[in-house]
Chain A
Amino acid sequence: MNCNKTIKELSGYLDGELDAGLKQALESHLTYCNHCHAVYDSTKKTIELYCDGKLFSLPEEVRTRLHEALKRKLQEHK
């Protein structure tokens, strides 16, 4: 497997969607190609960074405004 094919299949590999043969070929390429391994590693890290639950946390004042807006809406409905 060459670098272009590896990059093309990387997303499917990260999602565990590759068939056994393709998966093995890609993993074998990653063992000797530093470039592709760096791309694989940093793509995985990219996903992990965005999944970090501590990021983009809901500020308390935004939460308060949401609940106030909902209560106003409730009053309109009464």
Chain B
Amino acid sequence: MTELTQATLARDEGQLVSEAKAGNYSAFEELVNRYEKKIYRLGMNITGNREDAEDVLQDAFLKAFEHLPEFREDSRFYTWIVRIAVNEALMKLRKRRTSREVPMEDSEDENGEVVVREFADWKPNPEQQFARSELERILQGAVNSLSPGFRTVFYLRDVEGLSTEETAELLDLTEGAVKARLFRARLRLREELSKIFKRG
């Protein structure tokens, strides 16, 4: 996205927020239309579950609607709604600690170093080898193998494209912790997906 487009988008967003605060519901609805897909994807990536993703989506926008008068506009509306949605998603995960989750330590050696076990090349274009629903199931399964704190960092940095600094601020972590979690999350996901996508 160019700087100009970003600036235009931010300005429009600011106007929509002002109008929504003044009681114009269609302005709020426009903000929802703009970000609902991304917030649903956030829910899917962090909770790894359709029902929870829908709850995250609804609860985040209902809270944003409820608390809009308190939104101080010192950050973008989008950053604010992402923050609300991340908190909702993490709360969901805390409520259902599942046995499916494998501790991250499984992928480390005794010195805490990440161990890579799978070195095989992948078949080309794995996204073309599977139906979309099957690929979603595979990707969800791999995400579910990450601890919540790791999958959240992975989502914000790699999917959402937030910077290390923004992610650190949003999750109240140091930048070093964000980098360390991202490194381990990426390798762990790769390891999980390699079991399915490797050649031979």
A residues at B contact (CB < 8 Å) = 4, 7-8, 10-12, 14-15, 34-35, 38-39, 41-43, 45-47, 49-52, 54-58, 62-63, 65-67, 69-70, 73-74
List, in ascending order, chain A residues with CB within 8 A of B154's CB.
50
**B190 engages A46 (CB within 8 Å):** yes
B126 interfacial contact with A, CB 8 Å = yes
B89 interfacial contact with A, CB 8 Å = no
Q: In chain B between 26 and 75, which residues have their CB closer than 8 angstroms to a CB of chain A?
A: 28-29, 32, 36-37, 40-41, 44-45, 53-54, 57-58, 61-62, 65-66
List, in ascending order, chain A residues with CB within 8 A of B57's CB.
58, 62, 66
A53 CA to B179 CA, complexed, in Å = 24
A58 CA to B57 CA, complexed, in Å = 10
**A49 engages B61 (CB within 8 Å):** no
A65 CA to B59 CA, complexed, in Å = 12
Q: Pick from A7, A54, A69, A73: contact of B116, CB below 8 A.
A: A7
Query: Interface size (B, Cβ < 8 Å)?
Result: 47
B132 interfacial contact with A, CB 8 Å = yes
**B135 engages A55 (CB within 8 Å):** yes
B91 interfacial contact with A, CB 8 Å = no
A5 CA to B55 CA, complexed, in Å = 42
List, in ascending order, chain B residues with CB within 8 A of A45's CB.
122, 126, 197
B10-18, B97-105, B180-188: which lies at the A interface? B180-188
Q: Pick from B45, B113, B121: contact of A38, CB below 8 A.
A: B121
Q: B73: shortest Cβ distance to chain A, in Å?
A: 20
**A39 engages B116 (CB within 8 Å):** yes
**B65 engages A70 (CB within 8 Å):** yes
